[in-house]
Structure 1
């Protein structure tokens, strides 16, 4: 079965989150893309501990820069769906398509305006007033779960 959904991490900061997302990708047959530079070495112990023995099963692609990632997107003709606190459409009220790339920003800073503006769609995970953000791996799991549910 071909991979029908991609998760992209823009310059992730925390190896444990990336490892958890790689494990989820391996278990759900989702491709995971890391847009470098990452805030950690890809051989980091925390990455391996979170990913456990699933890292070898994960479909991981590393892109050396945002520009390299954009070139891949153009070549593959894929849609970037950015998760951001600056959106108004809830992730549960969006129609996902096969091939969508769910893009998540850095834990420390999200994404810059140039990345935000390049997204085809922008979604939010609604939270209670006063809450700043959810953990990146938690957010990725929630959104990927909804997309997988919709895509069957």
Structure 2
């Protein structure tokens, strides 16, 4: 089973982080939170959005971006941004790679994007909209990475209950 890491750089909205945490549990992914956070992790909004899955989440917190980078030297990191020139469907996501998303109000800082232009990716969208919801963006890119690995380890078929 392929394993992916979702990184949220300074997330601001607890409901988004809760939803992303639930998505990570469903996808077998780890969640990494780079501080400062715009909320406390014990807020009810996170628990509500993450439902009863939050205690199953593999989550790690970092003091700042430098702390995150120092703990993952040499890691393959993709930087999701509306400012990137390459589409997320144009890359092959490696097992155990990291996919970073920026805070809701400003995205990933431009200095980080400039340093990592070769691995910056975007989701195509109408030019009339600034960005997608953070939780939706994470789901789109994460499930593309999972699709590329055949959804290994995930339940791919459902069934109806008998009448």
Instruction: Please tell me the TM-score bracket, short chain as reference.
Output: over 0.9
Aligned residues: 149
Partner Cα separation in structure 2 for residue 118 and residue 101 of structure 1: 16
CA contact (8 A) 1:14 1:107 kept: yes
TM, length-normalised to structure 2? 0.87
- Tell me the residue number matched to 1:110: 107
Matches within 5 A, 1:1-152: 4-74=3-73, 77-119=74-116, 121-152=119-150
Output the aligned Cα RMSD. Answer: 1.3
CA contact (8 A) 1:73 1:79 kept: no
Structure 2: tracts of 5 or more residues without a match: 151-163
Cα distance change, pair 64–37 in 1 and its aligned pair in 2 (3 A): same
Structure 1's consecutive aligned runs of 4 or more residues displaced over 6 angstroms after TM superposition are none
TM, length-normalised to structure 1? 0.93
Partner Cα separation in structure 2 for residue 91 and residue 113 of structure 1: 18
Deviation, 1:114, is: 2.8
Summarize deviations over 1:5-29 as a string: whole Å, max 9, x none. 1000000000000000101111111
Partner Cα separation in structure 2 for residue 130 and residue 117 of structure 1: 24
Deviation, 1:99, is: 1.3
3-state secondary structure, aligned to 2:39: coil
Structure 1: tracts of 5 or more residues without a match: none
Deviation, 1:118, is: 4.0
Partner Cα separation in structure 2 for residue 62 and residue 141 of structure 1: 20
Partner Cα separation in structure 1 for residue 67 and residue 115 of structure 2: 14
